[in-house]
Structure 1
Amino acid sequence: MSSPDDYRRAAGYRRSVSPERMGLAGKPKLSGPIVAYDAYDLTDPGLLEMMRAGGSRVGVAGISVSDKMALRNSTFFRAVSLIAGSMGMLPLHLMRLKADGSREKARDHPLFNVLHRKANDFQTASQFKSYMQTCALLDGNAYALKVRSRGAVRQLVPLPRRCVRPQLSDTFELTFRYDRPSGGSVILSKDDVFHFRAPISLDGLTGVSLLDIAADTLSISHRALAATGRVLAKGTMVRGALETDKDLGDEAYGRLRESLRDSFSGADADEDFLILEEGLKAKVLTGTTKDNQLVEMRRLEAEEVSRFTGAPRPLLMFDETSWGSGIQQLGLFFVTYCLLQWFVIWEEAIWFCLLSPVEQETMYAKFNDGALLRGSLKEQAEFLKAALGPNTGFFTPNEAREYMDKNPLAGGDELPRPGTTAATIAADD
């Protein structure tokens, strides 16, 4: 598309210019190089995002729901931080399948350090995973630029949010359009971008944003919170009233007011009976039906947010049930029904985007979710006791020590033979 300077040149520069801006042959000097501008259709999603001023959307309550506004909702913030923090906390290892069928950590591969320790020059692996997971939750997609050296991926640099759009050509070739924050755009090959999306997609390329589908719930919740704030700011917060059919004299009114102020107000108020004069009667004021509905609405909206995120109610800190010894089952529920889908999404995206076709035959990424599934020390001891045998053990002593972050022992890489003990094995040797 032509630039504005091209149109002025074609029009013969009919606009008046000052003498100091005149160039050769009496034509005006151009202010800079001719720049090609991109044209957007009125139905283009990029134009819609720009008009939304940073990706906000309007809910049924008439409130614009942006990411910052949504994160001010305590339930939504807790759910997002719980999922993103858990994904960032868990170790992510690059594994290699050996010819004999055994598996090992591919510590010698450059990608192992990127996934496990340092993602780029300004983020650790934990920070990178937490940020990318947050992007996937809020926007439905997460994008990172692959930085290569000698053919291997050495860094993963997150691309700015809402600046990347996948495009599928008529020949089913996948590319990514990256709109630079400073201006202009560039088409990136699929070999240059690490991309994963939310589980639900409406086009097969991009994931559904949590902010989009929960916008109505978040806007209603914000309205309820604002109504509560107005009650606290402008409403009355009295617990009762004193009423009488008689006229209360100034002297009796003064004694009553002084008695209430001195003995029955403040944190150190007396828990004694109030002596009433002049036929006064005490009347306790209770919350109105409207007030009770407001409290119930806020509770229901918190439950709605938990349904959108998939985080269990007790982990969102508003459940009334005491789990006690069942807390381990709650952790298993969280891993199985909330995090497991993200484990698979991450692992498949790493296999698909970051490994070459040859490496894909023998290498894969694996999250270690043991940190979330470990119980108490007593339960871990019972597990290791069963894992070590003696008859049907499936852990070697060194594997058990590695499970507890202990150094290996010499001769601890063999499984116990059925029907034997450590003493008989030593005697046979």
Structure 2
Amino acid sequence: MAIYGGTIGSLPWILYKRIDEKNKVRWVDHPLYNCLHNQANSEMTSLVWREISMNHLLLLGNAYSQIIRNAKGQTRELWPLDPTLIEIKRDENGKIYYELRVSAGKNETFPAENILHIPGLGYDGRRGYSVLALAREGLGLGLSMETFQARFYGKGTNLGGVLEHPGKLGDIAHEHLKKSIKEEFAGINKSHGVFIAEEGMKYIKLGMPLQDAQFLGSRLFQILEFCRWFNLSAYKLKDYSNATFSNIEHLAIEFVQDSIRPWAVRLEQHVNWKCLKDDERKSLFNELLLDGLLRGDVESRNKALAVQRQNGVISANDWRAIENKNPLEGPAGDAIWQPLNMIDANAPPEEKPSEDKVEEEPEEKKLISFESRASRAIKSRRRMAEAFKPLYRNMEKEILKKERAGILKIVKKTLTQRDADDFIFAIDEFYEKFRKFIHNQFAGINSEYGNAIYPIAAEEVNADVEQTAEFAVYLNEFADHSTNRYVESSRGQLKQVVLKHRENDPAEAVEKRLDEWDERRPDKVAGREVVDLESGIAQFVYYGAGFRTVWVTFGKSCPYCMSLNGRTVSQGMNFLNAGQAFEPDGAVNGPLVVTQNISHPAAHSGCDCSVSAG
């Protein structure tokens, strides 16, 4: 009883509301939600009520609970009733009602709608069979064996025979012999001693030892009998004789599917029927969540979740919720991935190459194959970059929301007196504290983006798609780089604005700049980050596989990027060096002043170039 009651009692029992054909939400506002999930009534938790109900069901075949409703007719409490005191009857109109024997000669009646009656396996759909009655002989044998075993070891006088005296013992001698045997051999601690016979007495063995009587075998058989009556595997009653390390997990899954699930469905359907009003059943339903019991071992569970993650079934936050972890900050945790090597089944097939095409030489074919693979990889990475742009935009909006609040607070405190120096000092302090939040935002979405880009780049150069510890370090360092760039840009712009307008109205100028950030910065940050990190991750994979990095233009390119197209660098080298004034032919806007080393795209704001392996 404890197995079923404890298992059913520990499951999350949720009340849902259907939003449409595909979506649902937890309907916590309905009192039945609290009744099923937390507290069944003012004196019992939901777990206790479920344990009582399951014990009544399993032993007596029926579970009854009185339904208490609020003024709206919604179920708010469930009180268990003793099945042995209830009779099911019909009135003169054929309607079912329940009669509860309260005391001798006094009964109380309840209409059917006020009783949650859950019958077990039965014969008429109204009453369930009592397992105690059906299994009386088998269960009685088990109880008799318990009693026999207790008395056998309790007495402990297992001589298993009689003493034969050649003469006749008097009453005193008989009592003396009986007393001496009891003192020497009674009890577990004195068993298996040596008896010394006197006066020609002989010991004659009677009966059979416990082992010869197959007592232990009978005990094991009784365990199986109990399991059959209650549809359990023997290992649930601690009989591991047929359980192995390799099959114990599957036995546990079998327990959920064959033993727990039928009872769970029975409970769900009767609660839907009796505890929800007719109009409520159109949109509300309850469910006992069995997923936690089917989790399996850590490795198997993670492999299954990884397949769902990679095929767009769940997000990172969905995964974390299953593992009982808090969601990631920012929008990255809700990103849904999709495989880029799949197409719509209704899409037309790709055109096959012409059969009369001249076959290239092996080395030439090899080069073309590599270039083709590189081209596909760049396109795949760029599609992934476009998919992540909205996530970076949302991330930047979250940053700007907190950033604006913090800056305006400083403006109110310092610039009402037009104290530019105090403002500059205050924003330095603000950004040092705000830096951690920005880093966490970048780190969260960069991790998701990195996990998507890495296997594409690895496939391009036939590298291992399994990510290394060094890659995790690289992503964290990249988040530091993005954070530093963001902080320096924000701090630099604000200082410049205040110093420029310190004699006029610096507060208004700062607010105007914040408005400009809200309008333009999400797109700028998103465009820069997806290009920068995509190229950086690809380069990380290339160098790890022993390749060099080739600059590749993509889309409409400016003169600066066109002049970099095709350039190749090795690990430790840069395409452009900090302090360099880069002015290629056709650069009508003058030289591009490089403020930091450029080892991969983006070279400037708005750059959409990429890289390939060389």
Assess same fold via TM > 0.5: yes
Q: Does 1:401 align with 2:312?
A: no
Residue 232 of structure 2 aligns with an amino acid whose one-letter code is A
Match of 2:4 among 76, 79, 83: 83
Alignment of 1:194-209 (within 5 A): 194-198=116-120, 200-209=121-130
Q: Which residue of 2 aligns with 1:323?
A: 244
Alignment of 1:60-139 (within 5 A): 80-99=1-20, 101-139=22-60
The alpha-carbon deviation at position 227 of structure 1 amounts to 2.9
Q: Which residue of 2 aligns with 1:422?
A: 449
Contact 1:350 1:365 in 2 (8 A): yes
Residue 132 of structure 1 aligns with an amino acid whose one-letter code is S
Distance 1:177 1:357, change over 3 A: same
Residue 317 of structure 2 aligns with an amino acid whose one-letter code is N
Identity %: 24
Gaps of 5+ in 1: 1-79, 241-260, 270-283
Contact 2:119 2:125 in 1 (8 A): no
Distance in structure 2 (CA, Å) of the matches to 1:285 and 1:325: 46
Q: Which residue of 1 aligns with 2:307?
A: 386
Q: Which residue of 2 aligns with 1:249?
A: none
Q: Which residue of 1 aligns with 2:85?
A: 163
Distance in structure 2 (CA, Å) of the matches to 1:298 and 1:221: 8
Distance in structure 2 (CA, Å) of the matches to 1:193 and 1:266: 56
Residue 128 of structure 1 aligns with an amino acid whose one-letter code is W
Q: Deviations over 1:69-122 (max 9, x none)?
A: xxxxxxxxxxx1111110101111011111262111111211111100111111
Q: Which residue of 2 aligns with 1:358?
A: 279
TM-score, length basis structure 1: 0.66
SS in 2 for 1:96: strand
Q: How many residues align?
A: 328
Match of 1:213 among 125, 128, 134: 134
The alpha-carbon deviation at position 365 of structure 1 amounts to 0.9
Distance in structure 1 (CA, Å) of the matches to 2:92 and 2:334: 55
Q: Which residue of 2 aligns with 1:237?
A: 158
Contact 1:416 1:422 in 2 (8 A): no
Q: Which residue of 2 aligns with 1:154?
A: 76
Contact 2:223 2:237 in 1 (8 A): no
Alignment of 1:242-253 (within 5 A): none
Residue 407 of structure 1 aligns with an amino acid whose one-letter code is N
Q: Deviations over 1:368-427 (max 9, x none)?
A: 1122212222233222222211xx131112211110112223323342133247347972
Q: Does 1:346 align with 2:267?
A: yes
Q: Which residue of 2 aligns with 1:74?
A: none
The alpha-carbon deviation at position 286 of structure 1 amounts to 10
SS in 2 for 1:154: strand
Distance in structure 2 (CA, Å) of the matches to 1:225 and 1:123: 34
SS in 1 for 2:227: helix
SS in 2 for 1:232: helix
The alpha-carbon deviation at position 313 of structure 1 amounts to 0.4
Residue 150 of structure 1 aligns with an amino acid whose one-letter code is A
Q: Which residue of 1 aligns with 2:97?
A: 175
Gaps of 5+ in 2: 162-183, 193-204, 341-383, 385-447, 454-528, 534-614
Q: Which residue of 2 aligns with 1:193?
A: 115
Distance in structure 2 (CA, Å) of the matches to 1:306 and 1:170: 43
The alpha-carbon deviation at position 131 of structure 1 amounts to 1.1
Higher helix share: 2
Q: Which residue of 1 aligns with 2:149?
A: 228
SS in 1 for 2:44: coil
The alpha-carbon deviation at position 180 of structure 1 amounts to 1.3
Distance in structure 1 (CA, Å) of the matches to 2:260 and 2:48: 18
Q: Which moves more between the two structures, 204-213 or 371-380?
A: 371-380
TM-score, length basis structure 2: 0.47
Distance 1:194 1:288, change over 3 A: same
The alpha-carbon deviation at position 161 of structure 1 amounts to 3.4
Distance in structure 2 (CA, Å) of the matches to 1:239 and 1:414: 76
Distance in structure 1 (CA, Å) of the matches to 2:68 and 2:146: 45
Distance 1:388 1:160, change over 3 A: same
Distance in structure 1 (CA, Å) of the matches to 2:22 and 2:236: 39
The alpha-carbon deviation at position 287 of structure 1 amounts to 4.7
Distance 1:413 1:359, change over 3 A: farther
Distance 1:367 1:295, change over 3 A: same
